A and B are shown apart, each in its own frame.
Chain A
Amino acid sequence: MRNHVREAEHLIRLALVFLAGGAAFLLIRQAVVPPGFGVHGHYRAAALEENRLRPAVYAGQAACSDCHEEQVKQRAAGSHRGVACEACHGPLARHAADPSAAAPRPPDPVALCRRCHEADAAKPKNFPQVVAQDHSGGEACNSCHQPHRPKV
């Protein structure tokens, strides 16, 4: 038996090298895998709390109607009624909290309208879409359309 062990000594050394490699891997894993990983799922549990603590950047539709009643009314009567104000005007929680602190930037009507209404065969047929270049030759859409209630 002892003879066998002596003759297989190199294999024991090899096994030790692999064990050392395995142990090093476990140590690295211990050090770099963030605590709480896998508690709720395949992610860091603390990420939930971190996300919750991030300040909200969108004010929500109700906040807009407090001051901009006219525009909200127009929007509700037209085909953009399903589009939230901040979908075009951007996140405005800071503006809602203090209107003088952050003024909303007016959207660029050429680029913004094309984002939804540029013709693309993959869009449903009944969705209003145009080849902007042929339709207006690059002129701003709001020179003919009223974006809050988009009729010509």
Chain B
Amino acid sequence: MTGVEGFMYPNEVELQWSALIVLYPYITGLVAGAFILASLERVFKVAAVRPTYRLALLTALAFLLVAPLPLQLHLGHPERSFEMYLTPHRSSAMAMFGFVYLWYLMVVLVIEIWLDYRADIVRLSQTRRGLTGWIYRLLTLGSRNVSPESRRIDDRVGWAITVIGIPSAFLLHGYVGFIFGSVKANAWWSTPLMPIVFLFSAMVSGIAAVLLLYMGISWRQKRKVDMLCLDTIARYLFYVFLIDFSLEMLDLVHRIYEADESFRSLDFMVRTRLYTSQVIVQIYLGTVLPILLLAATQVLRLSERLRRGLYAAAGLLTLAGIFAMRWNVVIGGQLFSKSYLGYTSYKLEFATREGLLTTVFLMVLPLAILWGLLKLLPPWPEREAA
């Protein structure tokens, strides 16, 4: 049989979870990571990252809006997914995830963004005309009160929501890891470390994405990058990356030392079918190299220009590495037989519902939404005015 080596059970030959299911944890990871970066400023009072606070929130919102789409496109009857809100089954992890998603979208992100932008929205509602004016007036909810006292209340409520938001972001992405980690029949997935590894890799990818977006937008709009902000984000990226890498290695060492009945089969898979995506892309290019680049910026005295270049390179490599990590989890978990005696292969289709074109479209869509959000809610209004 083409693409099959050794013995596969009949229902294992064809992969059921496609590249779209790879995209789903990748996108939710970017959401959770971007939000954690925003919370650094809000809750942990890291003032240096202030310039990216709003950008991080809008990035999280843009990606969160797209997060369920890969799942919807994977379903034969996407319209039925709404039923998990109407008649939720409490024993289904996916059904409960719908509520986690809704909570995070509506209660955490939308309210936090609204509270932070309220003064700007009120100002814009008074100056803009036409359709955008209408949108701003709608967003004010009819209240134009931006007195210092009302802003003080906003600030306190916003802080409380961010505090609630941190465990919510952890829950959102830890949950995605949980869905894989709880599949006890699959030795590649079934580990209690999975939610934690997913969470830290989410933080890494989200921070890297905001770092790159901040640099990219500043370059595009010919604005000077706040180097203190960039250095601080890169430092946090470095720290979180170290923890993430340690956890992944801990998982690896644990698997090697435990060497249960699945080990030889999985080890063979990593050395053959997953070698490029796991060893080369995920570990060497996507983890070790960016950590080394970031470490270089921490220990060497480098010029601003060089540091920016290294941050951009490290950010891009990180995003590619985390994507490879999601790929290796989702696709890798379906390549080997549960008999541990054979391997199948995955061929990414091109112009189909779950093909490459759809995957690329879903990856570009959040950036398009972010572009619209940045137009509607400019993150740096003081610079707009100047």
Do A and B truly interact? yes
A29 touches B86 (CB 8 A): yes
How close is B87's CB to chain A, nearest CB, in angstroms? Answer: 6
* A14 and B141 contact, Cβ closer than 8 Å, known pairs A120-B10, A122-B10: yes
Report if B97 contacts A (CB, 8 A).
no
Contact with B along A3-41 (1 / 0, CB 8 A): 100111111011001100100010011001100011000
Report if A152 contacts B (CB, 8 A).
no
Q: Which B141-174 residues have a C-beta within 8 angstroms of A?
A: 141-143, 145, 147, 149-150, 153, 157
* Nearest B-chain residue to A34, judged by Cβ: B87
Chain A: number of interface residues, binned into ranges: 20 to 34
A13 touches B87 (CB 8 A): no
List chain B residues, Cβ under 8 A from A13. 141-143
List chain A residues, Cβ under 8 A from B118. 10
Report if B94 contacts A (CB, 8 A).
no
Question: How many of chain B's residues have a CB under 8 angstroms from any CB in A?
Answer: 21
Contact with A along B30-63 (1 / 0, CB 8 A): 0000000000000000000000000000000000
List chain B residues, Cβ under 8 A from A32. 86
B86 touches A10 (CB 8 A): no
Report if B7 contacts A (CB, 8 A).
yes
Report the separation of the CA atoms of residues A8 and B146 in the bound assembly, to the nearest whole angstrom. 10
* A10 and B145 contact, Cβ closer than 8 Å, known pairs A33-B87, A42-B87: yes
Report the separation of the CA atoms of residues A6 and B87 in the bound assembly, to the nearest whole angstrom. 39
Report if A121 contacts B (CB, 8 A).
yes
Report if B245 contacts A (CB, 8 A).
no
Report the separation of the CA atoms of residues A42 and B86 in the bound assembly, to the nearest whole angstrom. 12
How close is B359's CB to chain A, nearest CB, in angstroms? Answer: 32
Report if B9 contacts A (CB, 8 A).
yes
Q: How many A-B residue pairs have CB under 8 A?
A: 44
A14 touches B114 (CB 8 A): yes
Report the separation of the CA atoms of residues A21 and B141 in the bound assembly, to the nearest whole angstrom. 14
B149 touches A7 (CB 8 A): yes
B145 touches A42 (CB 8 A): no
* Nearest A-chain residue to B341, judged by Cβ: A121
* Nearest B-chain residue to A120, judged by Cβ: B10
How close is A65's CB to chain B, nearest CB, in angstroms? Answer: 35
Report the separation of the CA atoms of residues A29 and B111 in the bound assembly, to the nearest whole angstrom. 24
A33 touches B86 (CB 8 A): yes
Q: Which A107-130 residues have a C-beta within 8 angstroms of B?
A: 120-122
How close is B185's CB to chain A, nearest CB, in angstroms? Answer: 16
Q: Which B1-25 residues have a C-beta within 8 angstroms of A?
A: 7, 9-10
List chain B residues, Cβ under 8 A from A21. 106
How close is B111's CB to chain A, nearest CB, in angstroms? Answer: 7
* Nearest A-chain residue to B89, judged by Cβ: A42
A11 touches B157 (CB 8 A): yes
A7 touches B145 (CB 8 A): yes
* Nearest B-chain residue to A16, judged by Cβ: B141
Report the separation of the CA atoms of residues A25 and B149 in the bound assembly, to the nearest whole angstrom. 34
Report the separation of the CA atoms of residues A21 and B106 in the bound assembly, to the nearest whole angstrom. 11
Q: Which A87-115 residues have a C-beta within 8 angstroms of B?
A: none
Report the separation of the CA atoms of residues A6 and B143 in the bound assembly, to the nearest whole angstrom. 10
B157 touches A38 (CB 8 A): no
List chain A residues, Cβ under 8 A from B140. 10
* Nearest A-chain residue to B141, judged by Cβ: A13
Report the separation of the CA atoms of residues A25 and B142 in the bound assembly, to the nearest whole angstrom. 23
Report the separation of the CA atoms of residues A76 and B153 in the bound assembly, to the nearest whole angstrom. 84
Give me 11 other A-B pairs in contact (C-beta within 8 A), A7-B147, A17-B141, A42-B89 excluded. Answer: A6-B145, A8-B150, A9-B150, A10-B118, A10-B150, A11-B153, A14-B141, A25-B85, A32-B86, A38-B87, A120-B10
Closest 6 pairs (CB-CB, A-B): A10-B143, A13-B141, A7-B150, A7-B149, A29-B86, A8-B153
Could you list which residues of chain B lie within 8 angstroms of chain A, going by C-beta atoms?
7, 9-10, 85-87, 89, 106, 111, 114, 118, 140-143, 145, 147, 149-150, 153, 157
25 A-B pairs (CB sep. < 8 Å): A3-B149, A6-B145, A7-B145, A7-B149, A7-B153, A9-B145, A10-B118, A10-B140, A10-B141, A10-B143, A10-B150, A11-B157, A13-B142, A14-B111, A14-B114, A14-B141, A17-B141, A18-B106, A21-B106, A29-B85, A32-B86, A33-B86, A42-B89, A120-B10, A122-B10
